[in-house]
Amino acid sequence: MDTRTLTPGIVPGRLDKDRIEAGFADLHPPLDDHEALVAADRCYFCHDAPCATACPTTIDIPLFIRQIATGTPEAAAKTILEQNILGGMCARVCPTETLCEEVCVREVAEGKPVEIGRLQRYATDTLMAQGVHPFERAAPTGKRVAVVGAGPAGVSCAHRLAMKGHDVVLLDARPKPGGLNEYGIAAYKSTEDFAAREVDWLMQIGGIELKTGVALGRDTTLDALKAEYDAVFLGMGLGGVNALGVAGDDKGGVADAVDFIAELRQASDLAALPVGRDVVVIGGGMTAVDAAVQSKLLGALNVTIVYRRSRERMAASVYEQELAAAKGVRIICSATPVAVHGNGSVREIEFEFTDDELTATGERFRLPADQVFRAIGQTLTGDGLPDLEGRKIRVDGVGRTSVAGVWAGGDCASGGDDLTVTAVAEGRDAAEDIHAQLMGTAG
């Protein structure tokens, strides 16, 4: 049942369509040709570039910026895409402020880094606009690989395997491919249906058959895939969402932030999307910030993020925290929920302050709320999976699991940060190891 029907405070049209469209416009508008040349000219082209070392996909950043500076953005794009086939999306959503740009020599010396992310977008957008795929498929190997999950890890793995000449079947439980990029990030970070267009573009490599609406555990099993294919890659992300575990968690108006974001990303008319007047988001990561900021952009009057630890320990970057604050979102730290109050639907949510060790202090407070979003982490779902490490599939450095012939990467696998760029790297590296295994060249 849709909990919004129980909560009169959750309504559409809090802002007019023009204001909503302005709020959800591109967060970082693209550079034009002149701006790109000026931005590229600031790069020192360091030989031992710390920016490249900080990139999870190890893109040769000085090289691609030099290629932009010399008027060959298409060559720059290929340099990027050789390492990161989702370079266009990563240019939009990567926390560059804590990765490549944080260690940029100009950031260290002047406090203003080279705009690596925007330059990467400029190059990849230039190439994609030409409609030509820069890579060619190798001769067919006769090997077939199943890739479960069409998110960043899965499509990265599928593309690299297809490029090597293998036939790939890409399975995803949702109606559309893209995973997190399609369903899980703020709409102002990826406008004009870019996630779908990028997947369509990389599928031009050939050799990849996409099957949507197919879920592992529901429609097929790992054993069945192992029997049918020469190798299997698991990149299905995390399907479950942690519950608050407090009284009243099931009241109307309490929902998962990931579902809210997914609904928003797929909405054809944002002005028709209901939002509360008083919105509370529980969590401290990117999902919490994305849900909170977008609630504010839809017209919520009061939006508050509440996180159980100190602000310094929030998974969301300082930049994202400041973006939330700039949009009018209040952030309360060192507080944990203890109860959801209301008669059928949420009206207030009660918290208790905690110390650095998450020990309750006894001091409590309540926030008015007609809409509460849980953003306190996701969990792996499914039976018959390889061995786990904690709550994720245990893998080695190249993605091998405890089951022979099965690899994993992305959010469902242990190790690494839960970032799009990290997932791309893990899918790529697993594909290289799968190829070596299938061709008998593995060490």
Residue linked to tokens 């870019």: 194
Say if 203 falls within a structural domain: yes
Q: How many domains does the chain have?
A: 3
> Using an 8 Å Cβ cutoff, are 253 and 372 in contact?
yes
Per-residue pLDDT 10s for the chain (443 aa) are 354 555 778 999 999 999 999 999 999 999 999 999 999 999 999 989 999 999 999 999 999 999 999 999 999 999 999 999 999 999 999 999 999 999 999 999 999 999 999 999 999 999 999 998 999 999 999 999 999 999 999 999 999 999 999 999 999 999 999 999 999 999 999 999 999 999 999 999 999 999 999 999 999 999 999 999 999 999 999 988 899 999 999 999 999 999 999 999 999 999 999 999 999 999 999 999 999 999 999 999 999 999 999 999 999 999 999 999 999 999 999 999 999 999 999 999 999 999 988 999 999 999 999 999 999 999 998 889 999 998 899 999 999 999 999 999 999 999 777 899 999 999 999 999 999 999 998 76
- Please tell me whether residues 219 and 316 are part of one structural domain: no
- Please tell me whether residues 98 and 203 are part of one structural domain: no
- Please tell me whether residues 199 and 258 are part of one structural domain: no
Say if 14 falls within a structural domain: no
- Please tell me whether residues 349 and 263 are part of one structural domain: yes
Task: Round to whole Å and give the CA distance between 48 and 371.
Answer: 50
Terminal Cα-to-Cα distance of the chain (whole angstroms): 53
> Using an 8 Å Cβ cutoff, are 52 and 60 in contact?
yes
- Please tell me whether residues 189 and 338 are part of one structural domain: no
Residue partners of 223: CB distance under 8 A and separation at least 6: 384
- Please tell me whether residues 280 and 192 are part of one structural domain: no
Q: What is the pLDDT of residue 102?
A: 96
CATH code of the domain containing 106: 1.10.1060.10
- Please tell me whether residues 362 and 298 are part of one structural domain: yes
Say if 20 falls within a structural domain: no
- Please tell me whether residues 336 and 360 are part of one structural domain: yes
- Please tell me whether residues 246 and 233 are part of one structural domain: no
What phi and psi values does residue 87 have, to the nearest 5 degrees?
-60, -30
Query: CA separation (Å) from 102 to 116, 260, 294?
Result: 10, 31, 26
Q: What is the pLDDT of residue 357?
A: 87
Burial of 394 by CB count in 10 Å (0-12 exposed, 13-18 middle, 19+ buried)? middle
Say if 340 falls within a structural domain: yes
Say if 6 falls within a structural domain: no
Say if 79 falls within a structural domain: yes
- Please tell me whether residues 257 and 358 are part of one structural domain: yes
- Please tell me whether residues 352 and 233 are part of one structural domain: no
Q: What is the pLDDT of residues 103-142, one digit of tens each?
A: 999 999 999 999 999 999 999 999 999 998 999 999 999 9
Instruction: Give me the domain span that covers residue 177.
Output: 144-239+380-438
Residue partners of 27: CB distance under 8 A and separation at least 6: 186, 188, 189
Closest CA to 264 of 9, 24, 95: 24
Say if 18 falls within a structural domain: no
> Using an 8 Å Cβ cutoff, are 174 and 183 in contact?
yes
- What pTM, to 2 d.p., does this model score? 0.95
Say if 410 falls within a structural domain: yes
Last residue of a domain, one of 324, 345, 377: 377
Last residue of a domain, one of 74, 96, 129: 129
Closest CA to 417 of 385, 392, 400, 388: 392
CATH code of the domain containing 318: 3.50.50.60
- Please tell me whether residues 115 and 184 are part of one structural domain: no
Burial of 30 by CB count in 10 Å (0-12 exposed, 13-18 middle, 19+ buried)? middle
Task: Round to whole Å and give the CA distance between 181 and 423.
Answer: 11
Q: What is the pLDDT of residue 1?
A: 39
Last residue of a domain, one of 353, 377, 401: 377
